[in-house]
Each structure stands twice: as C-alpha cells, then as structure tokens.
Structure 1
Amino acid sequence: MGIYGFTTIYRRTGRREFLTTARKLADFALGALSPDHVPVWDYLAPQAPHDIKDASAGAVMACGLLDLSRATGEPRYREEALKLLTALSETCLTRKSARADAVVARCTRNRPSEDGVEISLPYADYYLLEGILRVLRPDDIDRAIDLSTV
C-alpha cells in the first residue's frame, strides 16, 4: 500500500519527498520478491521469501508501480508491475471453487493470528482489475484521482 499511497500523495501535492519515499519502498519491495513474483505476507518474516503468499499485496503493489512508472518516467517499474499482474493472473485466481468469496485467492489478512491465511479477499479483486485497467487505459488514471479538486 505504501508505494500506491505515497505515489498518489506525490501526484496530488507535487512534493518530491513523497515520490522519494515511494521509490524507496518500491525498490525494497521489488528486491524482496521471490522469483514467482507473488509477495509473501511480510517481507521481513523469518521464513521470507518462502512464507505464506499475499496476492492482495501484489495487486496493490502492481497498481502503485504502474503509477510510479508514470510519475518517474522509469519503465522498470512498469515492467515489474506487468510481471506481478501476470503472476497473479496465472497462479492466484480461484478456479471452480465453491468456497471462494472473490476472484483472487492466496491472500493473507493476519498471518500471526492465523486469521485469513491463503483466502480470497474482495479488495484484491478490486486492485487486480484496477491494475489491468491501468495497463489497458493508462490515460484514464486521472479520472480515478481527480486532480481538479486539489
């Protein structure tokens, strides 16, 4: 959420320190990803990068990286976002499951208390779709983030 949030705040305020923070968060998170490009629930967990996955974090991260790429002009953030979206689409979607409450599976809500581990979460669906729309219609981003009211 940090990449997404700090990039959004930068776009709304133009304050460079928010962009700097978003870049640092992105570089850290990308460095912590395992080869399958699906984030674990906590990058600093003792078993990371081989711990329980959190596809919802990957979906939010992909949206933030797409926005960060546009804000910085750095294509590497877009390339990594596309890898994330591809990984989520190939390995984390529910298929023929009567237990699924959403489309994206392998999400984790609260690993330490074992509450909501490897489940479906509706907000993962939202951010996966937002990420896909950001790829297909990148010029429409300002409609979601209305800069006319700033």
Structure 2
Amino acid sequence: MWSSAIEDAIEKVRKNIDRFGGRFPHVSMNGTYQLNNNDDWTNGFWSGMLWLCYEYTQDESFRIAATHTVEDFRRRFAAKTVLDHHDIGFLYSLSSKAQWIIDKDESARQLTLQAADLLLKRWRTGGGYIQAWGPVGDAQEGGRIIIDCLLNLPLLYWAEQQTGDSLYRQVAVMQADKTKRYLVRGDDSSYHTFFFDQMTGEPIGGATHQGYTNGSTWTRGQAWGVYGFALSYRYTKDPLYLETSKRMARYFLEHLPQDHVAYWDFNAPVSADTYRDSSASAIVAAGLQELLELMDKEDPERAYFQQGLLQSMTSLVQNYSTIGEDAEGLLKHGSYHVRGDLSPDDFMIWGDYFYLEALLRLQKGSRGYWYER
C-alpha cells in the first residue's frame, strides 16, 4: 500500500513542477492550488517535497527543481520578503537546510544559518518568548506565542550544533519550556496561542486563532505538539519533552472519529457537515514515527502508538488520498482556517508534505529535514 501511494505521489509532484512554473503552492480552491511568488509561510513545504522525491528516486529533475526553490529562498531572504514571523524554520529547514543535508552545499548551510539568526531576533527578552507574528512592540501581536513554533525550533537547535553558539539552543529550550507550561493543558489537550505581557512576561491567557473557541483543541495545533516535542527531545534528551509528546499523542488518538482521521477541532460540534483536517492526521503520522523511534523499546505504549499510526495512515491512503486521480494535491479534506472561511476543505501543501514524509518513513525509514541524519 505504501509503495503504490508513494509512486502515485511522486508522479503528481513531477507533473506539478511544470504546472506550478516556478511558483509556490499554498492551499487549493476547488482542487486547484493557489500559487504565490514565495511570500507565504507555507512555501518551504513544496521545496521539502521536491527534496523528498529526489532522495527517493535519485531523479535529477527533482533535484534541479528543488535547487531552484532554494535560490528563490535566497532571494526572499535578501529582500526580507514577508519574514516578520516565526515560521522561518518551516521555510528554511525544508529548503536550504534540506539541500545542506543532502548535497553538503556550503552556500545552503550559510543561508540556513542566516535564517536561524533571523529567527533568533524574534526572541523578546522582556517577555521571555519568541514572538509569533508582527514586529517588536506590536500592540495586537506583540505578546503572542503559538504552538506551531515547536516545528521552527529545530532550526535553532541545528544552528547550535553547526556553530557551537549555545544561545541558539538556550532560546529554543526556553521557548519549548514555555510552550509546555502554558500551551499544554492538564488534560493533555492544548491551546493554539497564549498571550504574555510584553514587558514583564506575565501570563495573560490562552486563546485561539484558527480553532473553534479559545478553550477548544484545534487539531492541527495538537499535531504540532506531538511532533514538535518529540523533535525537542531528540535534540536535548530532556525526558519531559518525550513525555509531553506521548501525552499529546495519546490525547489525539483517543479523540479521533471512527475512521481515524481528525476533524478540524476536537471540540467542534460533529455533524455530516463538520470539516475534517487530514493535514493534522498527516502531521501526527509523521510525528508518531519520530516518537516511536525515540521511545524505549520496552515502553508499554509502543503497541498503542504503532496501532494508531497504522490505522491513521491506512485511512489517509484509502479514504483521503488522490491515488489514481488527475489531481494537483495528494490529500483531500484538509482545513486551513475554518472560521475564517479560508479553504476549509481542500488540499493543503503542508498536509501533502507530511503525508509524503510519513509514507517514506514507513516504506524506507527515511526522514524529513528537521535534523541531520
């Protein structure tokens, strides 16, 4: 099953190289990807998919296309085009860092280190956090952190390994600790965002940006927690991060519907019209494989997580994929911003990326580009 799904995905990516014409897919409308000129937070996922396809096939056409995206990210960095947010890690881990991991291209390494420095500048000393969005002192966004940032932290951990400068790691650990303390709730669910006083760091309260309510559990946010804390454990070996990843994974799996693919929010009222978010389940599928690799072989929960992984991936392939269809995307029924009415039921490029990453890990044991192999 995994092999046929991978082959189908690779052919779709191959066709999309020409379809996209050097532009970057974001989310789709009625099955057609909206494209941009590398000015959104999602653009790294397309680059990452190209690198994954190259590693699997060794087909030079994928490498050439992937390298072109890195050059585009180099231009984006030089122009500072929409980089006033924390998603620098999503952008550069899957593009220039991927090139460094695969090709050992020194210019790609230097670009990635520059990106890490830019992310480091979002650390707010007074508040004690990495500010998610907007410029320093922004009245609306200045005190906000969001759980997505956990997948940006590997850029900082990696930079510490490359340079020996401990500041990268210190900031990443402080952000992970703050996320664990304030965004993960006592029942192992999670807030999407949390606000702090910008000057003192005093906690104000949890909220949401894309979830159902401030107190609900947005499933993609929970998914970032599963994968993100596992990655922080890989870099730091702090057992609390591993335990937090396990807790959040258990919550995610326990609250899935019968077909093992998540709705867009665990607290949203369920009816025949309730939107799914296949991208959240794809992220967790990749995150569970990271978690299983890091867990003790004798851990009694291994079988539970392994079963949850196989059930979710089987359902994604059989019920949500576009296998055999002439489609631009790989995974149907993703959700971007349901309450904001932004593509609540279509292809999401991050869903496609994590679906492909999860498939390749299952089939070949290969990984993404969050850390050096």
**TM-score, length basis structure 1:** 0.85
Question: What amino acid is the match of 1:89?
Answer: V
Question: What amino acid is the match of 2:308?
Answer: E
Q: 1:102 corresponds to which residue?
A: 329
Structure 2 counterpart SS, 1:17: helix
Structure whose CA Rg is larger: 2
Question: What amino acid is the match of 1:105?
Answer: K
Change (3 A) 1:141 1:26: same
Matched, 1:119 2:346: yes
Structure 2 counterpart SS, 1:9: helix
Structure 2 counterpart SS, 1:105: coil
| C-alpha distance in 1 between matches for 2:316 and 2:368 | 25
Structure 1 counterpart SS, 2:342: coil
Matched, 1:7 2:230: yes
Structure 2 counterpart SS, 1:24: helix
Q: 1:29 corresponds to which residue?
A: 252
| C-alpha distance in 1 between matches for 2:331 and 2:229 | 25
Contact (CA 8 Å) 1:38, 1:88: kept in 2 or not?
yes
| C-alpha distance in 1 between matches for 2:369 and 2:350 | 20
Structure 1 residue 96, shift from structure 2 partner: 3.6
Q: 1:128 corresponds to which residue?
A: 355
Matched, 1:71 2:294: yes
Q: Structure 1, residues 74-116: CA drift from partner, whole Å, max 9, x if none? A: 132122111111111111123646xx54121100001112211
Q: How does 1:47-86 map to 2 (within 5 A)?
A: 47=270, 51-72=274-295, 73=297, 74-86=302-314
Change (3 A) 1:137 1:92: same
Contact (CA 8 Å) 1:59, 1:128: kept in 2 or not?
yes
| C-alpha distance in 2 between matches for 1:96 and 1:82 | 23
Please state which structure has a larger fraction of its residues in strand: 2
Instruction: Single out whichever of 11-20 and 78-87 deviates more from structure 2.
Output: 78-87
| C-alpha distance in 1 between matches for 2:257 and 2:359 | 22
Change (3 A) 1:24 1:87: same
Q: 1:146 corresponds to which residue?
A: 372
Contact (CA 8 Å) 2:357, 2:368: kept in 1 or not?
no
| C-alpha distance in 1 between matches for 2:231 and 2:306 | 16
Question: What amino acid is the match of 1:35?
Answer: Q
Change (3 A) 1:50 1:43: farther
Identity of aligned residues (%): 26
Structure 1 residue 46, shift from structure 2 partner: 3.0
Q: Which runs of 5+ in 1 are unaligned?
A: none
Q: Structure 1, residues 24-78: CA drift from partner, whole Å, max 9, x if none? A: 1011101110110110101122338983100100100101111111212313212
**TM-score, length basis structure 2:** 0.36
Change (3 A) 1:44 1:136: same
Q: 2:321 aligns with which of 93, 96, 118?
A: 93
Structure 2 counterpart SS, 1:108: coil
| C-alpha distance in 2 between matches for 1:30 and 1:49 | 21
| C-alpha distance in 1 between matches for 2:282 and 2:359 | 10
Change (3 A) 1:12 1:131: same
| C-alpha distance in 2 between matches for 1:5 and 1:135 | 19
Structure 1 counterpart SS, 2:243: helix
Change (3 A) 1:137 1:96: closer
Structure 1 residue 8, shift from structure 2 partner: 0.8
Instruction: Single out whichever of 74-83 and 88-97 deviates more from structure 2.
Output: 88-97
| C-alpha distance in 2 between matches for 1:109 and 1:25 | 21
Total equivalences in the alignment: 144
Q: Structure 1, residues 3-22: CA drift from partner, whole Å, max 9, x if none? A: 01110110111001111110
Higher relative contact order (CA 8 A, sep 6+): 1
| C-alpha distance in 2 between matches for 1:18 and 1:49 | 37
Structure 1 counterpart SS, 2:269: coil
| C-alpha distance in 2 between matches for 1:41 and 1:85 | 17
